[in-house]
Amino acid sequence: SIVNTLTECEDIKYVKLYINGDELKNENGQPLGLLTRSSTDVLMEIVQQEQMPVQVEEGGTTIEKRKAILYFPDEQFMYVVPEVREIEVVNKGIAQALVKELMAGPQKPGLVGIIPDEVKLLDISVSDGIARLNFSKELKDNFPKGTAGESMFLGSITNTLTEVGTIDGVQFLIEGKEMEGVGHVEMDKPFERNTRIIGKRIVLYFSDEQGSQIVPEYRAIPQNELRVARKILEGLIEGPAKEGLK
């Protein structure tokens, strides 16, 4: 549980455990030494990192496969967390490809989608550094509730699109018109990147009630938090937030 949790951090590869200053030993009295995750998990990460962008042309249509950073809210709606994914960009329409992926939802556990299923993207235009997203009328009735939901909606889309070098802000439209009377924020102006709500995911492992297996529980902390190991240990001591774990 502790080893799997700590080695989820990029800068922690091995863990050595001590009890009252003495190295933890196995049932035969031998020191456990350096502990790490399964080598299979590490190999999969290496393979994913080595994938390169690919561009092909089909019947006059240019399709580019590339890595992109998408931001999704964590389950507690505290932060938007980056998720790296390979996407298909058709005819250099990077903004449309990114929003399409956001609407499809996250692939990593512990993250949630924020664009309601009922909402359709009508079109996107980019000019003067502003991406203008034109959504269907369903967005007004299904706009995320509460200040946290609004913050996650805006942060997810805006931070994702401003990863593109030519986009500095995002403006939201409904059926071609400026959004009015929606939520607690003024929606008539473009929104800029908000790095304060960007977090990073941590994974805590707890035992199930039967003590037969360890189960991951996902949380998020600020992206600039340097005491990651301390935060993880504090979370383990605090205990699980979900029922059925201990």
Q: pLDDT tens digits for 82-97? A: 999 888 888 788 999 9
Q: Is the pLDDT of residue 168 over 80?
A: yes
CA–CA dist 83, 75 (Å, integer):
14
pTM of model > 0.85: no
What value does the mean pLDDT take over residues 52-78?
81
CA–CA dist 173, 122 (Å, integer):
10
Instruction: Give the pLDDT of residue 99.
Output: 95
Q: Is 52 exposed, middle or buried (0-12, 13-18, 19+ CB in 10 A)?
A: exposed
Instruction: Give the pLDDT of residue 186.
Output: 81
At 5-41, the pLDDT tens digits run 677 666 676 677 777 777 776 666 666 666 665 433 4
111 and 74 in contact (C-beta within 8 Å)?
A: yes
Return the closest-CA partner of residue 159 out of 194, 206, 115, 112. Answer: 194
- What mean pLDDT is reported for the chain? 82
Q: Is the pLDDT of residue 65 over 70?
A: yes
Confidence of residue 161 (pLDDT cuts 50, 70, 90): very high
Range from 27-36, 43-52, 112-121 carrying the lowest mean pLDDT = 43-52
Instruction: Give the pLDDT of residue 209.
Output: 78
* Residue 224: alpha-carbon gap to chain centroid: 15
Confidence of residue 133 (pLDDT cuts 50, 70, 90): very high
Percentage of the chain exceeding pLDDT 90? 39
Instruction: Give the pLDDT of residue 148.
Output: 92
Instruction: Give the pLDDT of residue 196.
Output: 93
